[in-house]
Amino acid sequence: MRRDIFQAIADPTRRAIIALIAVQAMTPNAIAEHFDSTRQAVSKHLKILTECELIKQEHQGREIYYQLEIEKMKEIDKWLEQFRQIWESRFQQLDQLLATIQKK
């Protein structure tokens, strides 16, 4: 059972859930109302997201509020870092090229 962030955000429904609870913590029922699938299906997604620590629970009576662990999202950002260096250097190269053209 592979369970990492990249696999977690691969599913569009899960990405939608993440975006939803990023705004404010919500219960499974409230989340499920935004989708066509059943609450149980949403619950499964929440379980996966919880397992890779992208979200956390907050019990309040019999209700459970799910909240985004924004810190964990930074791990994706961290992975992107290596490529950001490339696209920034490409941009710099283009910049230098444009400067050279202007000089002529």
Partner DNA sequence: TGTATGTGCAACTGGTTGGTTTCTCAAAAT
Partner DNA sequence: ATTTTGAGAAACCAACCAGTTGCACATACA
The one of DNA, a copy of itself, none whose footprint includes residue 27, by CB under 5 to 8 A per kind, is DNA
Binding mask 58-87 for DNA (x = CB under 7 A): ---xxxx-----------------------
> Residue 47, interface with a copy of itself (CB under 8 A)?
no
Among 6, 11, 88, 96, binds DNA (CB under 7 A): 11
List, as one string, the DSSP characters of the chain. ----HHHHTTSHHHHHHHHHHHHS-B-HHHHHTTSSS-HHHHHHHHHHHHHTTSEEEEEETTEEEEEE-HHHHHHHHHHHHHHHHHHHHHHHHHHHHHHHHHH-
Q: Which residues bind a copy of itself (CB under 8 A)?
A: 2, 4, 6-7, 9-10, 12, 15, 19, 22, 68, 70-71, 73-74, 76-77, 79-80, 82-84, 86-87, 90
